[in-house]
Structure 1
Amino acid sequence: MGELMRRYWIPVRPTAQLVKEEVMAVRILGEDLVLFRLADGQMGLVGDRCPHRMTELRYGIPDTGGLRCCYHGWMFNPAGQCIETPLESANDPFKDRIRIKGYPVQEMGGLVWAYMGAGTDALAAAVGPCHENTGDPTHSVYLHGNLFEYVLQKQGKLEERAADGQMHTLYARMKTGNGIESLYVNPTRYGMEKGINYSKELGADRDHVSRHATVIFPFYTQTGGPGMVRQEFQIRVPVDDTNTYHINYGCYMGPEEVPVTVQESIPYYDVPLFDDDGKPLLDFVLAQDAHAWISQGPIMDRTQEHLGRTDMPIVFMRRQFEEQMRIVEDGGDPMNVFRDPATMPSLIHGGHWDEREEEGKAAVTGKGSDLSSFRGAYHKGYAIDDADRYGPAMPQVIDLMRRIDEAQEEAARA
C-alpha cells in the first residue's frame, strides 16, 4: 500500500500554515520529515535530522538558498543536498558528499503537495479513501441522525438547535433510512460510484436512486451536488499505519449575480474532537464521523467483521485497492497516474453527479434537497452543525449565503 500511495502527489499541509510557521515537522507515509519555506518562496520537504550530529531540523533556520541546522549551521537546499558546512574547511569538498532525503513540493489551491515516489517524472491525480467511511452510504441514518438527536436531547438543546423538524440535518438523515431496496457500486474511469436504490413500496416517498458522493482514487471524496453553495472535498492522507491526516477542503460558491471577494490566501483551521474536559464532541457531523472511525482502533482485524448488504461498497473499495496494489507489484502504473502531460485530463471527476439522466431517476442529495440544505443555510443558524463552525472564514460564508438568499428572493418577486 505504501508503494501504491507513493505514485501520487499528496497534500501535506495548508500553504497558509507554512507561511505562518516556516519550518514544521510532518509525518507522511510513515516518514518523519521537515517542511520549510524560504523567504524567496522556495519550499522544501527533507529528512528530519541533520546528518552531522543528528539534531532535528524542525529547529532549523530558513536561510537564503536552504534550511540551516540550528546546531552547527550546516545548510541543505530543498532537494536535500548539503550546500554549506560553515565551520569546516572552506576548501574541503566535504559538503558535496552530504545529502539527506528531499522530495519535490508544489503549491496548488492553498495546499502544499509532495511527490514521495521514486523519480520525479510522474504527474498524478491526487484524489479517495484512506479509511473507509467514503464507501458507506447508509451510516448517516444513525450516526448523523439518531445519534445527533440523542446528543442534543442530552444537552437540552434539541428544541434550540433543531426545532423546525425539517431543515436540521438530523431529520433528513434519519429519513434516508426509509425504503432502502438495495445498494449499488460500480467502477468509474477514475474511481468508483455508489449509492442507494429506494422503493416506494418499502416506505420511500417515491422510487428513486440516490448517488452518494463522488470518489476518486486513491483517497478523495467530493460531497455536494451541482448548484449547492457549499462543496466539500475530503482528502484522507496516510500518515503511517495507524493515523490519517484528514483534510476537509471547503469551497463556497455563489451565482454570477452575487459578487464574491477574491481571497488573498486560503485560511486553515484545526477541528477539535474533544471539549476542554477531554470528553468527545459529538454535536457536529465531522466529529461524529471521526469518533466512529477512531473507535474502531488503530489496526482492526477485519476478519472479525460481519458485513451486511449495506457494506457492498466497502467490499468493492477494498478489492479496488488490492487490484491497484497488484498492478504496482507487477511494475505497472495504477489508476490516475499520468506520465505524459498530454494524456492527463484537465479535470478528474467521478462521473455524472446528481443529474437527471433519464425520466424517473434523480438523486436525493443535491440542489434543493432536504439532506444538503442545512449546509446552504448557515446564515439561518445552521453553521453550528458541522466543522465549518470553527472556520475563520465563516463570517464571509454566512454573508455570502445571506446575499444569495436575498438575490433568489428578489428574482422570485420579479
Structure 2
Amino acid sequence: MLTAAMNERLTRVGPDTPGGELMRRYWIPIAPYSQLDENPVRKVRVLGEDLVLYKDKSGTLGLVGDRCLHRNVDLQFGIPDQCGLRCPYHGWLFNEGGKCVERPMEATPRGEIKQKLKAYPVQELGGLVFAYLGPQPAPALPRWDLFVWPNAIRQIGIMTINCNWLQCHENTGDPTHSAWAHGHMFQYVLEQQGRYEEAAARAEHTLHTRLKTGIGIKELYANETETGISKGVRYSQELGADSDYTREHSTVIFPFFTQTGKTGAPRSEYQIRVPIDDTHTYHICYQVYAAPPGVEAPQQDSVPWYEPPRHDENGKPILDYVLAQDALVWDAQGAITDRTAELLGRTDIPIVLLRRQLDQQIGRVEEGLDPINFYRESPDIIYGSGSAPDYSKPLLKHNFRKLYHRGFFNDDADRYGPALELVKDLHRKIEEFETAQQNALEKTESGSN
C-alpha cells in the first residue's frame, strides 16, 4: 500500500512533476519508423505534451509543437518540405529545431522571428523513432540488444491502453499473475467459446505452462541489477511442484522496458510502456525472431508494425491471446489505480522493489544526478538481461517459443503480425537445422561405438 502522495509521485508524468522529470532523462520510443513511410506527418502525445512527428523530403526527422506560430493551425496537417514542415494554411516553414525559416507572402519572407516551436531531438533505431524531451545536452541513445541484434526478423505491435503507465509496467513485477490471467482466465474464455478441448489437446498451447506456474510456489525473489531488476519464483516439490526448481521471470530494464525471452533466441520481445499522459499508455511489443549460427534469417527492408485488436466487430473483448488478457487487467484497475486501497501479499515482493527503485531514481534526478541507464556514450550493444547469448546451451527452456510453424503464434499478439509468415519459415528452418545437427551427432556417437 502506498500513500496518496507517493502514488502521485510515481504516476504523474507531465512537465515539472517528479516522475515526468525522470522520464525526460530517457530516449522514449514514440512510433514505428515505417509509419512515416505511410504518412510522413503524425500527431504524437507523449509525457502529456502534444507534438507532431514528421519526416521531410530530405529524410530528416523532426518533432515539434503541434500548433503553427502564425494562426495556431494544427501541424499534423502540415506539408513536408525539402528541409522542414510547412503549415498548410499560409506555408510558414519550420525546421527540426522549431525555427521558422520562411514566411511566404510576408514583406520579409525570410526575416527571422524570435519565437520558436517547441522542438525535441529524434533518432531512429531498430525500426523505432525515439525522442528525447529532457535537458540538453541529450544523452546517447542506448543500443539495447534486441534493437541491434543481427540475423533476425522484427515486427512492432502497438496498442493504446486507457490507464496510467505504471499499472501496465507493474505487470512485469508480478510473476504469479500468469497462472490466473493467462491460465485460468484463458481456460474460462475458451470454455465459453467451446474451444477448450481443442486447446487442451495441443501440447504446445501456452495454457498448460501458465496453469503450472501457480502450483508449488515456495517464495518469490527480486534483486536490483545494473540495468533494472531480476526476479523469479522458487518452487517446492513438497508444496505440489514436480520438483524443487527456480523459474526466472522476465527481465526489467529501467524505466519501462520488460524483456521476455533470451537475446538471440527464436522469439524474444521488449514490452515497452510509454506514458502518453497520466491516464493513457502507448504499449509497444518489439518482437524479435533470431536465427542461430548456421541459419540465415531473411532480410527486411523495413520493420513492419501492426495493431492487435482488443475488440471484435460486435464490440466484445477479444481475450484469447496473452497481451489482450494483460491489457484487460491493466485498465480494469481504473485510469490511475488507488494504491492506498491495496492489500499486498507475498507474491507482490517484486512490485514493492519496482516501486522503490522508481522512487529512488526520481530522487537521484531531484538531487541533480543521472539515473540508471542514462548513457553519455553508448556501447555498440547493451545486454539488458546481463550477457550475450551462449549458443552452446539451449536458449529456450520452453520449446514452443520456436514452434510458430506448428501453431504456437495463435496464443499471443504475434498472430496478427505482418511478419508472421516469415517467422514461420524461419522456425521451420531452425527445426530442420537442429534435427540435422542431432542426427549427425547420433551418427557420430554410434560410429564411435
TM-score (ref. length: structure 1)? 0.92
Whole-Å separation in 1 of the counterparts to 2:263 and 2:287 = 15
Is structure 2 residue 446 aligned with structure 1 residue 408? no
Residue type of the alignment partner of 2:56: L
Whole-Å separation in 2 of the counterparts to 1:253 and 1:236 = 23
Shift in Å, 1:213: 1.0
Is structure 2 residue 367 aligned with structure 1 residue 330? yes
8 Å CA contact retained: 1:43, 1:105: yes
Where do 1:286-325 residues align within 5 Å?
A: 286-325=323-362
The one of 183, 188, 195 equivalent to 2:220 is: 183
The one of 172, 175, 199 equivalent to 1:161 is: 199
8 Å CA contact retained: 1:67, 1:75: yes
Q: For residues 70-93 of structure 1, what are the alpha-carbon distances to aligned partners after superposition, in whole Å with 9 as ceiling and x for unaligned? A: 011111001100001101112673
Shift in Å, 1:177: 1.1
The one of 283, 286, 304 equivalent to 1:267 is: 304
CA distance 1:267–1:46, shift in 2 (3 Å)? same
Shift in Å, 1:294: 1.0
- SS at 2:234 equivalent: strand
Shift in Å, 1:98: 2.9
Q: Which residue of structure 2 aligns with residue 379 of structure 1?
A: 405
| Identity score, percent | 52
Is structure 2 residue 385 aligned with structure 1 residue 350? yes
Q: Which residue of structure 1 aligns with residue 86 of structure 2?
A: 68
8 Å CA contact retained: 1:189, 1:350: no
Q: Which residue of structure 2 aligns with residue 119 of structure 1?
A: 136
Whole-Å separation in 2 of the counterparts to 1:375 and 1:229 = 7
Residue type of the alignment partner of 1:243: H
Shift in Å, 1:345: 7.3
8 Å CA contact retained: 1:44, 1:103: yes
Shift in Å, 1:227: 6.1
8 Å CA contact retained: 1:45, 1:104: yes
- SS at 2:169 equivalent: coil
Whole-Å separation in 1 of the counterparts to 2:173 and 2:41 = 36
Whole-Å separation in 1 of the counterparts to 2:122 and 2:396 = 40
8 Å CA contact retained: 2:261, 2:269: yes
Whole-Å separation in 2 of the counterparts to 1:91 and 1:249 = 44
Q: For residues 224-259 of structure 1, what are the alpha-carbon distances to aligned partners after superposition, in whole Å with 9 as ceiling and x for unaligned? A: 136631011111111100111110000001222222
CA distance 1:271–1:300, shift in 2 (3 Å)? same
Q: Which residue of structure 2 aligns with residue 104 of structure 1?
A: 121
Shift in Å, 1:42: 0.2
8 Å CA contact retained: 1:232, 1:248: yes
8 Å CA contact retained: 1:180, 1:199: yes
Q: For residues 310-349 of structure 1, what are the alpha-carbon distances to aligned partners after superposition, in whole Å with 9 as ceiling and x for unaligned? A: 001111111111111111111111111123x2x7574142
Shift in Å, 1:291: 0.5
Shift in Å, 1:352: 6.1
Where do 1:8-407 residues align within 5 Å?
A: 8-90=26-108, 93=111, 95-123=112-140, 125=142, 131-164=169-202, 166-225=203-262, 228-339=265-376, 341=377, 346-351=381-386, 367-369=395-397, 372-407=398-433
CA distance 1:113–1:403, shift in 2 (3 Å)? same
Higher RCO, Cα 8 Å, sep 6+: 2
CA distance 1:30–1:349, shift in 2 (3 Å)? same
Whole-Å separation in 1 of the counterparts to 2:199 and 2:85 = 50
Q: For residues 114-139 of structure 1, what are the alpha-carbon distances to aligned partners after superposition, in whole Å with 9 as ceiling and x for unaligned? A: 11001133225487966311111111
Residue type of the alignment partner of 2:123: Q
- SS at 1:259 equivalent: coil
List runs of 5+ in structure 2 lacking aligned partners: 1-18, 145-164, 441-449
CA distance 1:64–1:367, shift in 2 (3 Å)? closer
Whole-Å separation in 2 of the counterparts to 1:65 and 1:90 = 19
Q: For residues 156-180 of structure 1, what are the alpha-carbon distances to aligned partners after superposition, in whole Å with 9 as ceiling and x for unaligned? A: 112333313x321111111111111
- SS at 1:192 equivalent: strand
8 Å CA contact retained: 2:232, 2:246: yes
Shift in Å, 1:65: 0.9
Q: Which residue of structure 2 aligns with residue 359 of structure 1?
A: none
CA distance 1:91–1:269, shift in 2 (3 Å)? closer
CA distance 1:91–1:198, shift in 2 (3 Å)? closer
- CA RMSD across the alignment: 2.1
- SS at 1:3 equivalent: helix
CA distance 1:279–1:331, shift in 2 (3 Å)? same
Q: How many residue pairs get matched?
A: 399
8 Å CA contact retained: 2:261, 2:396: no
Whole-Å separation in 2 of the counterparts to 1:77 and 1:183 = 52
- SS at 1:123 equivalent: coil
Structure 1, 224-233 or 10-19: larger mean CA deviation: 224-233
